[in-house]
A = this chain, B = another copy of it.
């Protein structure tokens, strides 16, 4: 297996954290997103969506979505489960992972890509160019701030995002809260549950990858 990474980007960091929690070592190739290596012919042959992370399997199959990569690694290496202890915990971990992707990470990406001059004409990832829509920059920021409240309320009831176990949802939430700094969005002072959780997760070795 080979892992295509970019050490400065949030999406592949989710896989790096997952690998660290599972205690898996992996041959890793850095893709230079800043200089557009994701649009090279060589990388398009690996992932036509021109995004990282990618996990290339030994039979040549390339997995190009974070959740699909993590699901595969969980199936192949079940030790140190990132999907709870049973089908209900697994479904809740998956559900929160989806919510954090869409309402959290997606909102920040929407804000950055529709604002930063470096993404002019590149408002969406993928092979096709789309113009920036300035109204989305503000909407994304508002959505991300609102999602802090959703997570804080959930963490008032549970130790971790999806319950009492650390799961893939905590990894995605950790990357989300750090990614928020890219748009200078800080955890609200009164989000005590979210702050308690972040301190707890930050102590894990996986948080520093």
Contact = CB atoms under 8 A, between A and B. Distances in A.
A154 to B, nearest CB: 10
A94 B67 contact: yes
A14 B61 CA distance: 27
Q: What is the size category of the interface that chain A forms with chain B?
A: 20 to 34
A201 interface: no
Contact of A94 (B65, B88, B126): B65
Contacts of A59: 88
Given A63-B91, A68-B98, A133-B133, 12 more contacts: A49-B99, A57-B88, A61-B91, A65-B95, A67-B94, A68-B92, A71-B90, A130-B139, A130-B143, A133-B139, A135-B135, A136-B136
Count this chain's copies in the assembly.
2
A47 B29 CA distance: 42
Contacts of A99: 49, 65
Contacts of A75: 87, 90-91
A96 to B, nearest CB: 9
Given A57-B88, A87-B72, A67 B98 contact: yes
A64 interface: yes
A72 B64 CA distance: 23
Contacts of A128: 143, 146
Interface of A: 49, 57, 59, 61, 63-65, 67-69, 71-72, 75-76, 87-88, 90-92, 94-95, 98-99, 103, 124, 126, 128, 130, 133, 135-136, 139, 143, 146
19 contacts: A49-B99, A59-B88, A61-B88, A61-B91, A63-B92, A64-B95, A65-B94, A65-B95, A65-B98, A65-B99, A68-B92, A68-B95, A71-B91, A75-B87, A75-B90, A128-B143, A128-B146, A130-B139, A133-B136
Contacts of A94: 65, 67-68, 71
Nearest to A133: B135
Contacts of A98: 65, 67-68
